[in-house]
């Protein structure tokens, strides 16, 4: 077990109807003026927007609004939000939405207390030293941003989708009501499930010694997500299934499943290149294509690990390690298909011609490798993209 630090200060309010407590919660923390951020307006249709606004008014909490966060949030949005947050003297940024909205709020929180441009933090020119508190009401179980220390943002003018990680942006609190995800489409639900599983699976496969307790927890979370996924695809309003998926979302990306292990997310690095370049690729759908391809490419370098994964996550009953490993990857591939995920990049209109560009994006023009079961350089990444076409 490698040395690690574990820090998850986010207070989670989990359960039915808990969004109704958001006014009281903010008030108890003592904040008087906040910025409310949300996405493309689905919260206006389902009543959540009105609910939150009324609660803020009831508790005399002033607010400014920034709606319109896009999937894969954009740096322009963040810059404008930062400008307004500074001008208005906002004390907390409340995201009502999924991972993209929370990520935009995190960057807003970093930008609001500095004169630097936020992008400087993203590309490592500057190091953040403080941030406004961020909080959220979660509406999609997927990214795990509600408890995580990371956030992703895109600059389309540079064709770059990048992330940063800092304990400064771990949310202060997260309100998680699984009922709010009943209306998430089957496709988006499946994308979320894939993202959640990837967060745990990528930590599981990082190249280091097995870590029994973290392995047991990770395998258990994965089995639970798989169980719940099979239910929720048939019964979108099944509370237990939605609740298991939502809690798995938070636990899969707050680093619990990385304790004692090397924390790198290689398949996420590959996928960011794809959904950064192609706005029609949902992050989870990209992962569903890339994960099996990546696994097929690297599994021979750590057959015992992939065999353990096959047996403990997918119930593969096969004594030969190599065969077990292959059956595990097959089970995963079939599972993603069974929940309606794509299995090739062609399904997004991406073909072999795109691979050089995607590889350059992923390797930052051949200036970095991606740590994985093996180190992935341009050649390996190109090969994996090829397997996806």
List of residues contacting a second copy (CB under 8 A): 1-9, 11-16, 18, 209, 211-213, 216-217, 219-221, 223-225, 227-228, 239-240, 243-244, 247-248, 251, 256, 259-260
* Contact (Cβ atoms closer than 8 angstroms) between residue 249 and residue 177: no
Nearest distance from residue 247's CB to a second copy, in Å?
Answer: 5
Nearest to 368 by CA among 380, 383, 384: 380
* Contact (Cβ atoms closer than 8 angstroms) between residue 88 and residue 33: yes
Of the two residues 14 and 59, which places its CB atom closer to a second copy in the complex?
A: 14
Nearest distance from residue 198's CB to a second copy, in Å?
Answer: 17
Nearest distance from residue 225's CB to a second copy, in Å?
Answer: 8
Distance between CA atoms of residues 274 and 293, nearest Å: 14
Of the two residues 21 and 62, which places its CB atom closer to a second copy in the complex?
A: 21
Nearest distance from residue 304's CB to a second copy, in Å?
Answer: 16
Distance between CA atoms of residues 253 and 214, nearest Å: 13
List, in order, residues 6 or more apart from 249 with CB less than 8 Å away. Answer: 138, 141, 142, 143, 144, 146, 192, 195, 196
Of the two residues 50 and 212, which places its CB atom closer to a second copy in the complex?
A: 212
Nearest distance from residue 336's CB to a second copy, in Å?
Answer: 20
Of the two residues 173 and 336, which places its CB atom closer to a second copy in the complex?
A: 173
C-alpha radius of gyration, the chain, whole number: 20
Q: How many angstroms separate the first and last alpha carbons of the chain? A: 37
Nearest distance from residue 74's CB to a second copy, in Å?
Answer: 32
Of the two residues 73 and 192, which places its CB atom closer to a second copy in the complex?
A: 192
* Contact (Cβ atoms closer than 8 angstroms) between residue 9 and residue 170: yes
Nearest distance from residue 112's CB to a second copy, in Å?
Answer: 23
* Contact (Cβ atoms closer than 8 angstroms) between residue 374 and residue 264: no
* Contact (Cβ atoms closer than 8 angstroms) between residue 370 and residue 270: yes
Of the two residues 223 and 382, which places its CB atom closer to a second copy in the complex?
A: 223
Distance between CA atoms of residues 365 and 356, nearest Å: 10
Distance between CA atoms of residues 71 and 284, nearest Å: 12
Token output for 235: 């019964």
Do the strands 134-138 and 92-97 form a parallel or antiparallel pair, or are they unpaired?
Answer: parallel
Of the two residues 6 and 301, which places its CB atom closer to a second copy in the complex?
A: 6
Q: Which residues, in sequence order, are bridge partners of residue 213?
A: none
The total of other beta-carbon atoms located within 10 Å of residue 177's CB is 23
Distance between CA atoms of residues 217 and 224, nearest Å: 11
Of the two residues 148 and 363, which places its CB atom closer to a second copy in the complex?
A: 148
Nearest distance from residue 9's CB to a second copy, in Å?
Answer: 4
Distance between CA atoms of residues 11 and 14, nearest Å: 10
Distance between CA atoms of residues 238 and 269, nearest Å: 33
Nearest distance from residue 195's CB to a second copy, in Å?
Answer: 16
Of the two residues 2 and 352, which places its CB atom closer to a second copy in the complex?
A: 2
Of the two residues 239 and 364, which places its CB atom closer to a second copy in the complex?
A: 239
Nearest distance from residue 382's CB to a second copy, in Å?
Answer: 37
């Amino acid at each position: 077990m490698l040395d690690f630090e574990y820090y998850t200060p986010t207070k989670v309010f989990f359960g039915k109807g808990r969004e109704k407590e958001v006014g009281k919660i903010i008030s108890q923390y003592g904040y008087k003026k906040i910025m409310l951020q949300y996405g493309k307006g689905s919260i206006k249709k389902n009543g959540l927007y009105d609910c939150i606004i009324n609660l803020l008014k009831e508790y005399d909490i002033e607010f400014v609004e920034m709606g319109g966060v896009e999937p894969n949030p954009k740096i322009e949005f963040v810059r404008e939000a930062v400008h307004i947050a500074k001008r208005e003297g906002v004390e907390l940024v409340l995201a009502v939405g999924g991972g993209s909205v929370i990520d935009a709020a995190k960057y807003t929180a970093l930008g609001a207390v500095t004169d630097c441009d936020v992008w400087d933090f993203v590309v490592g020119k500057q190091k953040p030293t403080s941030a406004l508190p961020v909080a959220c009401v979660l509406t999609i179980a997927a990214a795990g941003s509600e408890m995580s220390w990371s956030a992703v943002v895109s600059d389309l003018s540079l064709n770059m989708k990048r992330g940063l990680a800092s304990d400064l942006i771990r949310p202060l609190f997260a309100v998680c009501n699984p009922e709010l995800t009943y209306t998430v489409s089957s496709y988006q639900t499946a994308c979320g499930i894939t993202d959640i599983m990837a967060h745990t699976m990528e930590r599981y496969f990082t190249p280091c010694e097995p870590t029994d307790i973290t392995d047991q927890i990770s395998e258990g979370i994965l089995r639970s997500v798989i169980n719940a996924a099979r239910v929720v695809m048939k019964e979108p309003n099944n509370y237990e299934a939605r609740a298991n998926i939502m809690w798995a979302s938070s636990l899969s990306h707050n680093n619990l499943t990385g304790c004692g292990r090397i924390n790198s997310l290689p398949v996420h690095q590959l996928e960011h290149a794809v959904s950064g370049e192609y706005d029609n690729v949902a992050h989870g759908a990209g992962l569903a294509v890339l994960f099996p391809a990546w696994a097929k490419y690297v599994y021979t370098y750590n057959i015992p690990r992939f065999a353990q994964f096959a047996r403990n996550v997918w119930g593969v009953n096969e004594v030969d390690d190599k065969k077990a490993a292959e059956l595990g990857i097959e089970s995963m591939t079939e599972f993603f298909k069974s929940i309606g995920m794509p299995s090739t990049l062609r399904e997004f209109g991406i073909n072999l011609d795109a691979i050089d560009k995607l590889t350059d994006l992923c390797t930052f023009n051949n200036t970095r490798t991606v740590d994985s079961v093996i180190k992935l350089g341009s050649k390996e990444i190109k090969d994996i993209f090829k397997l996806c076409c």
